[in-house]
C-alpha cells in the first residue's frame, strides 16, 4: 500500500520533472549579448493593422513618419519626404528607395495602402478603426456603406502614397507615429491571423520576432534588412511576461531583467536611497494624464459650484508626494507638458488647492459644511494604486468638505462604459496620448459626439476644439486650446485633472537608453556596453 | 448468468468497467449544467470584451465588434452556438488574443498548472504524511505538538505572504534559486512549496487522526501481543490501514492544487491556466471562462473517480456504487 | 467520504458507539468531551486565543488607539514606534487600529460564513437523508453537481455577478437596492459572505445526509416514529443533537479556510470596500511594498496565521474530544 503510493507519486513527479526538459532550450537566451525586459501581460495578437500599437509591433514595422520629441516635429522614417496640398487635406509621401521586407521583397506604397484599408475594413473588426476616421470615407467604409477601395489612401506608384483627409488636420502627421504601420500584404493574406507568429512573420523594421511562447517570453533579433541596421546596437531583446510589479522588481534586483518600468510606489523610497539601485533609477515625464470625471446628470454634481468645491478640496501635491511618490507632476489642466496645446502653469488656468475657497463654494451651492450633501460614490478600476489614491481623496473630501464618500472598485472591462453611463458620481480615468497633440485628448474624450450622457458637454467648447483641429497656425491652436481647457477644467469643471504620470524606471548600468520621453520605446536607439 | 462462467477476477473487471462508464457518463449532465450556469451568470454581468479600461470605444465600433462575434444575439442562442462548437471539440476563439483558440490556450497552459499541481502534491505528501505519523505515534508529547504545530503553521501562512517571503529569502538574500518564471526545476521549487505546504497540513492531520484510530484496533494489539517488532507493527499493520482514508483525499487535494494555483502563478510569473481564469473573468473573455471552467470541472470529477477506483482496489471490502 | 464508496462493514465497536450517540446530549457525553478537550493543551491554548480575538473584535472601538480610517499624510509609512505601535500605512493610518478593526471582518467572514454553510448543509442533508428514496436521490444529484464545480472559480464568478450585477444604480427593484445598501453598510462583506456560504455547504450536506441515513435505521428513531412522532420532531429531537458534535468540528476546521479565501479575494480585487480593513486586504496592500516597509504585510500576516493556527488546533482538539473512539 505505502509502496504503491510511493511508486505512483514518484512516477507523477518524474513526469512533471521530465516536462522541464522541453523548456530547457531557452537557457542560452540571456547568455547571448542582448537585454531582457518585462512585459506586464501577454501581447496576444499584435498585428498593428487590427490592434492598438504594441511595443513588439513598434519595433518591427515601419511607419511613414516618426516624431522627434526634442523638436516636436515629424521626422522621416519609411517616407523620405512629403508635401501637403494647398487646402491642407491631401498629403503626398515619397518612400525611401531600396526598402525591403525581411523576405527580400520590396516595400512599396501599396503596403501602406493595404495597412490603412485593413484598419477600416469592417471585416477586420479592428478596435482602432475610429482613429482613421479623419481620412476621407473611412467612417463610411468601416460602416460597410462603401467598398474599402473608396478609402482616401492611394498608392500612386511604388514609392508615392497619397492620403486625403476629410478636413485639414495639422495633428495628422504626429498621429502617424502610432498608426498606419506598413504591413506585409502577401504574408498576411497567406497566413491569416497566424502571420505574426515567428515562423510566418515578415518585417521591415529594426527587429524581427524569432521566438514566441505565449504568456512566457517573446524574443526579438536585429533585422539585417532594416534600412538603418548598421546603427542598431542591441542584437537581441528578450521580453518575459511578468504581471506582478513586485516580481519584476525582484527579478531586476537578481539580475534576471535589465530594465523595468513599473515599480510599486511603496518601494520607490528604498530604491532612491539604495547605493546600488539609486544611480540606476530614472525619473522623467510621460504623456499620460490621470483625472476624475464628474457625473453631471444628477445632484449634487449637476451644480457647477459643487464641482468647483470638490476640485478645490483635492490636494494634488499630497497625492503625488505621498501616494504615487514617483515624481509625478500635479496637473492643472489636461494636456501633458511637451505636447502641442499644453497650457503652461503661468496662465493660471485650473483650480488650485484651496480648502477655504472650497468650503465657501460648497456653502454657496447650498451645502454649508456638507450638510444635506448626498453620499458621493467614487468609482475606480480595481487596482492597488487607484484604490490608494481614491482612499486619499476620499479622506480629503471628507475632512475638508464634510462629504460622505463611498468607494467602489470595479474590476476589468465593465468599468469605463458603466462609469460613463452614470454608475458612479465621480470616477477615475486615465489617458495615454497616442500622439503629442491636444487634439488627441479633447476630440477623443470630451467632444459631445463621443461623450456618454452623464459627462461634460458644452457647445462652445465643441466649437473651439473643432476650430483648433483644422487651424493651421500653431499660435492660434495654442490659444484655442487654452480657451478650451479653461472651459473644461475651470469654468465648467467637467473633470479634475490630477497628475501627469512619470516614467519611473530602473536600467542596469551596462544599458544606455535615450532619456527623452516617448510614447513607445524604440530599442533601435538603445545601446549596451 | 454469464458471471458464473467467468472467473471472479473477470467478473470484478466487468463491474469496474461498468462503474467507470457510468461515472464518466455522469460527466455529461454535470458539464451541461455547469456550462449553462456559468454562461448565463457571466452574460448577466455588464461589460463586454472590447471595452478598454481607459479608452471607451465609440458605440458603433463596439456594435460592429459584437456583431462579428455574435454577441448581439440573445444569450440562449449564443449558448447553443457555443455548445454546438464545444461538442465538436471547438471551444471557440479567445476574444482578446485573436490568434489563439481556447483549445490552444488549454493545450499550452494547462500542462503547466498540471505539473505545478503534481509537484505540489509531492511536497504535500512528503511533508504531511511523515509529520502525521510521528505525531500520532507520540500522541500528546512534545513531538506531537511540534509536528502538528509545524504542519498547521504551513496551512496558516497564506501563499500571498509565503511566496514573496520565500522569494526574498531564498532568491534575493541567499541567491540559491531563480526569482521567478517557469522552465527549470530550480524555478519550480518555491512555487511548488508555496502551493503544497498548505495541503501538507491537511494530510498531516488526517494521517494523525487515522493512525490514532488504527493503532487502537484489535489486530494491531494482537500483532503486538504476538511479539511482532514495533517497527513491523507500525509499517505492516498500522500504516497500511491508516493510509486508506488518506488516499481518498488525494483526489480532491490534487484537483484543488491544479485549479487553485492562481496566486502562486501570478507571484512567480508562471504561464499556467489559473491566471487565465481570473484574467478572463475581468476581461469578459467568455470562451476562455467557459473553457477553463469546463476543464477544471472535468479534472475534479476525474480525480475523484480515480481515487474511488484506487480505494476499492486497495481495500477490496469496499464495493463500487455508481453515482 | 468520497462519492460512491460504501463504508467498511460495522465492527463490533459500532454498537457501543450507537449507544453513546443515542444518549442525545446526555450529560456525561458532553462532560466527558469537555474533560478530554481540557486535557489537550494545544486545543486549550487555541481556544483561549480565539476567545481573546472575539473579545478584541467585539471591543474594537474601545481598544483601538485610533479609528481605522483616520490618517495623517505627514506620517505615511511610519515605522513601528511610540507614536504608532505597529507603524502606519501608506495613508498614515495606524496599523494596530486597522488590525483590531480588521479582526471584525476576518472573524465574521470566517465564523458567520462557516455557520451559514453549516445551517444550509445540515438542513439540506438531513432532509435528504431522512426523506430517502427519490427525493434523496434528486437532492444528492444537486450536491454532486455543486461538488464538481471548482469552488474557487464559482466564488469568483458569484462575486463578480453580485458586485456588478447588483451594483448597477439603475436597477429599480427595491429588494436589490436594499441588498446593495446593506452590503455597503457592511463594508462590502455581505456579498463575500454570500459567495462563501453558497460554495462551502456541500461537504456538510453529505455528512449530514450520511448520518441521517444511518440514524434513521437506529432503534431509538424507529421507536420514536412508531410512537407517532412527526418527522419534524424526529429530526429536531433526535437527529440534530447527534449532528452537533461532528458539525462543530467541521465548522471549526472550515473557518481558517474561509479566512484565507477572503484574503485571496482581496488579493484579486474582489475583497471588502476600502477603507474597511480586513487582514487579507491589508496583506494585499502591504505586499507590494514588502521590501521597503515590511511592517505593512508582516503584522496582518502574523495575525492571520495565528488565528488560523488557533482555529485549527481548537478544531482538532474538538474532534478528538467528541469522538468516543479516541478515549484512552
Q: Which DSSP string corresponds to A278-303? A: GGGEEEEEEEEEEEEEE-TTSTTTTS
pLDDT computed for residue A464 by the predictor: 94
* CB proximity C76 to A under 8 Å: yes
- Window 284-303 of C: residues touching A by CB (8 A cutoff) are 284-285, 287-293, 296
Please give the Cα distance from A328 to A499 (Å, whole number).
Answer: 6
Residues 6+ apart with CB under 8 A from C257: C200
Q: C274 contacts in A (CB within 8 Å)?
A: 387, 390-391, 407, 409
Residue A36 pairs in a beta bridge with: A238
Please give the Cα distance from A520 to C181 (Å, whole number).
Answer: 44
State the nearest Cα–Cα gap between B204 and chain A, in angstroms: 15
Residue in C240, C247, C277 with CA at minimum distance from that of residue C262: C277
Residue in A339, A287, A343 with CA at minimum distance from that of residue A174: A339
Alpha helices in A52-108 (DSSP H): 55-60
Q: Which of A248, A314, A395, A419 to mutate to test the interface with C (most CBs of C within 10 A)?
A: A395
Residues C221-253: pLDDT tens digits? 778 777 777 777 777 777 777 777 777 778 887
Average pLDDT, rounded, for chain C: 79
Cβ burial of B174 (10 Å; 0-12, 13-18, 19+) is exposed
The answer to whether A242 contacts B68, with C-beta atoms less than 8 Å apart, is no
Residues C128-179: pLDDT tens digits? 888 878 888 888 888 888 887 888 888 888 888 877 766 555 555 777 777 7
- What φ, ψ does residue A93 adopt, rounded to 5°? -105, 140
Please give the Cα distance from C265 to B101 (Å, whole number).
Answer: 28
- What φ, ψ does residue A522 adopt, rounded to 5°? -115, 110
Within A321-457, strands assigned E span 329-330, 376-381, 405-410, 426-432
Please give the Cα distance from B86 to B81 (Å, whole number).
Answer: 9
Q: A24 contacts in B (CB within 8 Å)?
A: 183-184
Residue in A486, A264, A292, A303 with CA at minimum distance from that of residue A393: A292
The answer to whether B180 contacts A250, with C-beta atoms less than 8 Å apart, is yes
Q: Which DSSP symbol is given to A444?
A: I
* CB proximity B183 to A under 8 Å: yes
Residues C107-138: pLDDT tens digits? 988 889 999 999 999 889 888 888 878 888 88
State the nearest Cα–Cα gap between A237 and chain B, in angstroms: 17
Handedness of CA B185, B191, B194, B200 (dihedral sign): negative
Q: Please tell me which residue of chain B has the smallest CA distance to A445.
A: B55
> Radius of gyration over alpha carbons of chain B, in Å?
25
Please give the Cα distance from C231 to C235 (Å, whole number).
Answer: 6
Q: C304 contacts in B (CB within 8 Å)?
A: 156, 158, 161
The answer to whether B322 contacts C4, with C-beta atoms less than 8 Å apart, is yes
Q: C150 contacts in B (CB within 8 Å)?
A: 255, 259, 293, 296-297, 299-300
pLDDT band at residue C13 under the 50/70/90 scheme? very low
pLDDT computed for residue C166 by the predictor: 63
Please give the Cα distance from A99 to A524 (Å, whole number).
Answer: 17
Residue in B68, B282, C281 with CA at minimum distance from that of residue A416: B282
Please give the Cα distance from B168 to A250 (Å, whole number).
Answer: 8
Q: Are B77 and B120 in contact (CB under 8 A)?
A: no
Q: A411 contacts in C (CB within 8 Å)?
A: 160, 269-270
Q: B45 contacts in A (CB within 8 Å)?
A: 414
pLDDT computed for residue B52 by the predictor: 61
Region for residue A209 given its phi and psi (left: phi exceeds 0; alpha: psi -120 to 50; beta: otherwise): beta
The cell for B193 is 512549496
pLDDT computed for residue B230 by the predictor: 78
How many CB atoms are located within 10 Å of the residue A85 CB?
13
What does pLDDT average to in each consecutive run of 10 residues of chain B (323 residues)? 57 78 84 88 77 64 78 85 86 76 88 91 90 85 82 78 88 88 87 89 84 80 80 79 81 82 89 83 84 88 81 64 46
Residue in C246, A472, A250 with CA at minimum distance from that of residue B177: A250
- What φ, ψ does residue B247 adopt, rounded to 5°? -60, -35
User: How far, CA to CA in Å, does A426 sit from each of A263, A487, A493, C57, C168?
Assistant: 27, 19, 12, 33, 15
Q: Are A153 and A161 in contact (CB under 8 A)?
A: yes
In total, chain B counts a number of residues equal to 323
Q: Please tell me which residue of chain B has the smallest CA distance to C46.
A: B149
Reported as type and span, the H/E element at residue A512 is strand A511-512
SS3 of residue C229 by DSSP? coil
State the nearest Cα–Cα gap between C168 and chain A, in angstroms: 6
Please give the Cα distance from A75 to A55 (Å, whole number).
Answer: 20
Handedness of CA B219, B225, B228, B233 (dihedral sign): positive
Q: Which DSSP symbol is given to A526?
A: -
Q: A27 contacts in B (CB within 8 Å)?
A: 184
Please give the Cα distance from A323 to A396 (Å, whole number).
Answer: 13
* CB proximity A357 to C under 8 Å: no
Half-sphere exposure of A221 (CA within 13 A, CB side): 13
Residues 6+ apart with CB under 8 A from C167: A408, A410, A423, C180
pLDDT band at residue C17 under the 50/70/90 scheme? very low
Please give the Cα distance from A517 to A288 (Å, whole number).
Answer: 11
Q: Which of A487-491, C10-14, C219-223, C252-256 has the lowest mean pLDDT?
A: C10-14
The cell for A121 is 475594413
* CB proximity A4 to B under 8 Å: yes
**pLDDT score of C27 more than 60:** no
Q: List the single residue in A12, A52, A130 with the smallest CB-CB distance to B118.
A: A12
- The C-alpha angle A421, A422, A428, rounded to 5 degrees, equals 100
**pLDDT score of C74 more than 70:** yes
Q: Are C98 and C63 in contact (CB under 8 A)?
A: no
Cell 503661468 belongs to residue: A346
Cβ burial of A5 (10 Å; 0-12, 13-18, 19+) is middle
* CB proximity A50 to B under 8 Å: yes
The answer to whether B155 contacts C312, with C-beta atoms less than 8 Å apart, is yes
Please give the Cα distance from B35 to B39 (Å, whole number).
Answer: 6
The answer to whether B96 contacts A417, with C-beta atoms less than 8 Å apart, is no
Please give the Cα distance from A127 to B98 (Å, whole number).
Answer: 12
Residues C75-91: pLDDT tens digits? 888 888 878 888 888 88
Residues of chain A below pLDDT 70: 1-9, 12-32, 411-414, 416-417, 451
Q: Are B322 and C4 in contact (CB under 8 A)?
A: yes
What is B84-146 written as a DSSP string? HHHHTT---B-SSSTT-BHHHHHHHHHHHHHHHHHHHHHHHHHHHHHHHHHHHHTTTSHHHHH
Q: C-alpha dihedral over A284, A289, A290, A295, to 10 degrees?
A: 170
User: How far, CA to CA in Å, does A177 sit from each of A111, A341, A455, A521, C22?
Assistant: 16, 18, 30, 12, 82
**pLDDT score of C8 more than 80:** no
State the nearest Cα–Cα gap between A353 and chain C, in angstroms: 16
Long-range pairs for A99-105 at CB < 8 Å and ≥24 separation? A99/A62, A99/A204, A99/A227, A100/A204, A100/A225, A101/A184, A101/A202, A101/A203, A101/A204, A101/A225, A102/A201, A102/A202, A102/A203, A102/A204, A102/A208, A102/A223, A102/A225, A103/A184, A103/A187, A103/A202, A104/A225, A105/A184, A105/A186, A105/A202
Please give the Cα distance from A388 to C323 (Å, whole number).
Answer: 49
State the nearest Cα–Cα gap between B1 and chain A, in angstroms: 34
Q: Which of B28, B31, B161 to mutate to test the interface with C (most CBs of C within 10 A)?
A: B161
The cell for A159 is 514609392
State the nearest Cα–Cα gap between A84 and chain B, in angstroms: 29
Q: List the single residue in B289, B308, B312 with the smallest CB-CB distance to C3.
A: B308
Please give the Cα distance from B282 to B262 (Å, whole number).
Answer: 14
**SS3 readout for A157-188:** ECCEEEEEECCCCCCHHHHCCCCCCCCCHHHH
pLDDT computed for residue B206 by the predictor: 85
SS3 of residue B178 by DSSP? coil
Q: Which of A8, A16, A262, A270 to mutate to test the interface with B (most CBs of B within 10 A)?
A: A16
β-strand pairing of A281-294 with A495-507: antiparallel
Burial A221-238 (b: 16+ CB within 10 A, else e): bbbebbbeeeebebebbb
pLDDT computed for residue B319 by the predictor: 57
Please give the Cα distance from C276 to C93 (Å, whole number).
Answer: 12
Q: A47 contacts in B (CB within 8 Å)?
A: 98
The answer to whether A247 contacts B284, with C-beta atoms less than 8 Å apart, is no
- What φ, ψ does residue C293 adopt, rounded to 5°? -130, 70
SS3 of residue A218 by DSSP? strand
Amino acid at each position: 500500500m505505502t509502496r504503491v503510493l510511493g511508486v505512483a507519486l514518484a512516477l507523477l513527479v518524474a513526469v512533471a520533472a521530465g516536462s522541464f526538459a522541453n523548456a530547457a532550450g531557452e537557457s542560452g537566451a540571456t547568455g547571448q549579448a542582448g537585454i531582457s525586459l518585462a512585459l506586464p501581460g501577454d501581447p496576444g495578437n499584435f498585428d498593428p493593422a487590427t490592434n492598438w500599437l504594441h511595443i513588439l509591433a513598434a519595433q518591427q514595422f515601419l511607419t511613414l513618419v516618426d516624431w522627434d520629441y526634442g523638436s516636436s516635429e515629424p521626422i522621416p522614417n519609411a517616407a523620405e519626404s512629403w508635401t501637403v496640398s494647398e487646402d491642407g487635406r491631401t498629403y503626398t509621401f515619397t518612400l525611401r528607395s531600396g526598402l525591403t521586407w525581411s523576405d527580400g521583397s520590396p516595400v512599396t506604397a501599396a503596403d501602406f495602402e493595404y495597412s490603412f484599408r485593413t484598419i477600416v475594413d469592417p471585416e477586420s473588426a479592428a478596435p482602432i478603426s475610429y482613429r482613421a476616421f479623419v481620412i476621407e470615407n473611412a467612417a463610411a467604409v468601416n460602416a460597410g456603406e462603401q467598398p474599402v477601395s473608396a478609402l482616401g489612401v492611394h498608392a500612386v506608384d511604388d514609392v508615392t502614397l497619397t492620403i486625403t483627409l476629410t478636413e485639414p488636420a495639422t495633428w495628422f502627421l504626429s498621429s502617424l507615429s502610432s498608426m498606419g504601420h506598413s504591413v506585409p500584404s502577401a504574408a498576411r493574406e497567406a497566413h491569416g491571423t497566424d502571420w505574426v507568429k515567428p515562423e510566418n512573420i515578415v518585417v521591415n523594421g529594426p527587429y524581427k520576432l524569432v521566438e514566441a511562447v505565449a504568456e512566457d517570453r517573446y524574443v526579438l533579433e536585429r533585422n539585417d534588412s532594416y534600412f538603418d541596421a548598421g546603427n542598431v546596437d542591441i542584437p537581441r531583446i528578450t521580453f518575459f511576461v511578468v504581471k506582478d510589479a513586485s516580481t519584476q522588481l525582484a527579478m531586476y534586483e537578481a539580475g534576471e531583467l535589465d530594465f523595468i518600468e513599473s515599480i510599486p510606489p511603496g518601494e520607490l523610497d528604498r530604491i532612491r536611497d539604495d547605493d546600488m539601485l539609486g544611480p540606476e533609477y530614472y525619473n522623467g515625464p510621460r504623456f499620460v494624464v490621470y483625472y476624475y470625471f464628474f457625473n453631471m446628470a444628477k445632484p449634487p454634481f449637476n451644480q457647477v459650484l459643487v464641482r468647483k468645491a470638490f476640485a478645490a478640496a483635492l490636494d494634488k501635491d499630497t497625492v503625488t508626494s505621498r501616494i504615487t511618490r514617483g515624481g509625478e507632476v500635479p496637473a492643472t489642466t489636461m494636456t501633458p507638458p511637451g505636447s502641442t496645446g499644453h497650457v503652461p502653469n503661468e496662465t493660471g488656468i485650473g483650480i488650485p488647492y484651496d480648502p477655504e475657497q472650497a468650503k465657501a463654494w460648497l456653502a454657496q451651492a447650498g451645502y454649508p459644511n456638507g450638510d444635506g450633501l448626498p453620499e458621493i460614490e467614487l468609482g475606480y478600476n480595481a487596482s492597488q494604486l487607484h484604490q490608494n489614491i481614491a482612499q486619499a481623496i476620499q479622506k480629503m473630501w471628507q475632512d475638508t468638505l464634510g462629504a460622505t464618500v463611498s468607494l467602489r472598485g470595479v474590476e476589468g472591462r465593465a468599468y469605463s462604459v458603466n462609469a460613463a453611463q452614470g454608475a458612479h458620481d465621480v470616477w477615475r480615468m486615465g489617458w495615454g496620448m497616442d500622439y503629442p497633440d491636444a487634439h488627441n485628448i479633447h476630440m477623443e474624450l470630451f467632444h459631445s459626439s463621443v461623450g456618454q450622457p452623464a459627462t461634460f458637454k458644452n457647445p462652445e467648447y465643441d466649437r473651439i476644439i473643432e476650430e483648433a483641429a483644422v487651424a493651421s497656425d500653431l499660435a492660434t491652436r495654442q490659444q484655442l486650446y487654452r480657451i478650451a481647457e479653461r472651459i473644461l477644467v475651470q469654468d465648467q469643471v467637467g473633470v479634475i485633472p490630477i497628475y501627469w504620470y512619470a516614467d519611473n524606471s530602473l536600467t542596469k548600468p551596462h544599458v544606455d537608453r535615450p532619456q527623452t520621453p516617448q510614447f513607445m520605446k524604440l530599442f533601435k536607439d538603445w545601446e549596451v556596453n | 448468468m454469464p458471471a458464473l462462467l467467468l472467473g471472479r477476477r473477470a467478473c470484478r473487471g466487468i463491474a469496474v468497467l461498468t462503474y467507470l462508464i457510468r461515472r464518466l457518463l455522469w460527466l455529461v449532465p454535470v458539464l451541461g449544467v455547469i456550462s449553462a450556469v456559468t454562461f448565463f451568470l457571466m452574460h448577466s454581468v455588464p461589460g463586454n470584451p472590447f471595452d478598454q479600461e481607459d479608452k471607451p470605444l465609440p458605440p458603433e465600433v463596439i456594435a460592429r465588434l459584437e456583431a462579428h462575434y455574435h454577441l448581439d444575439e440573445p444569450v440562449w442562442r449564443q449558448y447553443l452556438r457555443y455548445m454546438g462548437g464545444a461538442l465538436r471539440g471547438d471551444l471557440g476563439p479567445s476574444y482578446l488574443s485573436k490568434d489563439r483558440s481556447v483549445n490552444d490556450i488549454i493545450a499550452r497552459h494547462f500542462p503547466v498548472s498540471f505539473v505545478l499541481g503534481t509537484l505540489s502534491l509531492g511536497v504535500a505528501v512528503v511533508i504531511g504524511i511523515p509529520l502525521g505519523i510521528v505525531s500520532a505515534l507520540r500522541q500528546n508529547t512534545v513531538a506531537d505538538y511540534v509536528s502538528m504545530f509545524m504542519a498547521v503553521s504551513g496551512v496558516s501562512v497564506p501563499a500571498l505572504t509565503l511566496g514573496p517571503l520565500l522569494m526574498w529569502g531564498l532568491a534575493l538574500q541567499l541567491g540559491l534559486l531563480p526569482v521567478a518564471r517557469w522552465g527549470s526545476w530550480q524555478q519550480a521549487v518555491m512555487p511548488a512549496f508555496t502551493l503544497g505546504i498548505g495541503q501538507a497540513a491537511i494530510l498531516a492531520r488526517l494521517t494523525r487522526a487515522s493512525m490514532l484510530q488504527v493503532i487502537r484496533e484489535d489486530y494491531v494489539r494482537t500483532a503486538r501481543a504476538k511479539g511482532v517488532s514495533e517497527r513491523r507493527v507500525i509499517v505492516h499493520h498500522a500504516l497500511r490501514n491508516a493510509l486508506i482514508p488518506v488516499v481518498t483525499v488525494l483526489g480532491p487535494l490534487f484537483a484543488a492544487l491544479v485549479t487553485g494555483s492562481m496566486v502562486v502563478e501570478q507571484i512567480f510569473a508562471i504561464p499556467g491556466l489559473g491566471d487565465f481564469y481570473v484574467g478572463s473573468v475581468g476581461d469578459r473573455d467568455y470562451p476562455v471562462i467557459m473553457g477553463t471552467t469546463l476543464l477544471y470541472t472535468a479534472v475534479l470529477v476525474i480525480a475523484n473517480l480515480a481515487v474511488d477506483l484506487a480505494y476499492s482496489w486497495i481495500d477490496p471490502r469496499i464495493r463500487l456504487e455508481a453515482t | 467520504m468520497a462519492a460512491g464508496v460504501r463504508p467498511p462493514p460495522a465492527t463490533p465497536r459500532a454498537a457501543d458507539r450507537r449507544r453513546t450517540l443515542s444518549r442525545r446530549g446526555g450529560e456525561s457525553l458532553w462532560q466527558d468531551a469537555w474533560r478530554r478537550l481540557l486535557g489537550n493543551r494545544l486545543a486549550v491554548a487555541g481556544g483561549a486565543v480565539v476567545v481573546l480575538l472575539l473579545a478584541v473584535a467585539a471591543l474594537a472601538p474601545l481598544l483601538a488607539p485610533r479609528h481605522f480610517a483616520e490618517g495623517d499624510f505627514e506620517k505615511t509609512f511610519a515605522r513601528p514606534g511610540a507614536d504608532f505601535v505597529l507603524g502606519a500605512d501608506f495613508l498614515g493610518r495606524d496599523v494596530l487600529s486597522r488590525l483590531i478593526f480588521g479582526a471584525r471582518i476576518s472573524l465574521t467572514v470566517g465564523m458567520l460564513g462557516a455557520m451559514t454553510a453549516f445551517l444550509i448543509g445540515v438542513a439540506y442533508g438531513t432532509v435528504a437523508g431522512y426523506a430517502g428514496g427519490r427525493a434523496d436521490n434528486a437532492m444528492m444529484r444537486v450536491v454532486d453537481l455543486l461538488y464538481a464545480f471548482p469552488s474557487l472559480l464559482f466564488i469568483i464568478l458569484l462575486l463578480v455577478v453580485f458586485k456588478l450585477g447588483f451594483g448597477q444604480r439603475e436597477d429599480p427593484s427595491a429588494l436589490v437596492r436594499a441588498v446593495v445598501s446593506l452590503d455597503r453598510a457592511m463594508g462590502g462583506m455581505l456579498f463575500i459572505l454570500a459567495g462563501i456560504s453558497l460554495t462551502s455547504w456541500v461537504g456538510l450536506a453529505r455528512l449530514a445526509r450520511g448520518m441521517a441515513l444511518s440514524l434513521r435505521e437506529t432503534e431509538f428513531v424507529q421507536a420514536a416514529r412508531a410512537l407517532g412522532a412527526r418527522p419534524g420532531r424526529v429530526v429536531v429531537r433526535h437527529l440534530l443533537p447527534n449532528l452537533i458534535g461532528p458539525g462543530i468540528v467541521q465548522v471549526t476546521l472550515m473557518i481558517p479556510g474561509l479566512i484565507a479565501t477572503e484574503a485571496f479575494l482581496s488579493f484579486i480585487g474582489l475583497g471588502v470596500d476600502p477603507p474597511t480593513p480586513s487582514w487579507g486586504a491589508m496583506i494585499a496592500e502591504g505586499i507590494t511594498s514588502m521590501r521597503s516597509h515590511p511592517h505593512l504585510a508582516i503584522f496582518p500576516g502574523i495575525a492571520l496565521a495565528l488565528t488560523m493556527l488557533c482555529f485549527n488546533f481548537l478544531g482538532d482538539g474538538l474532534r478528538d474530544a467528541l469522538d468516543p473512539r479516541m478515549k484512552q
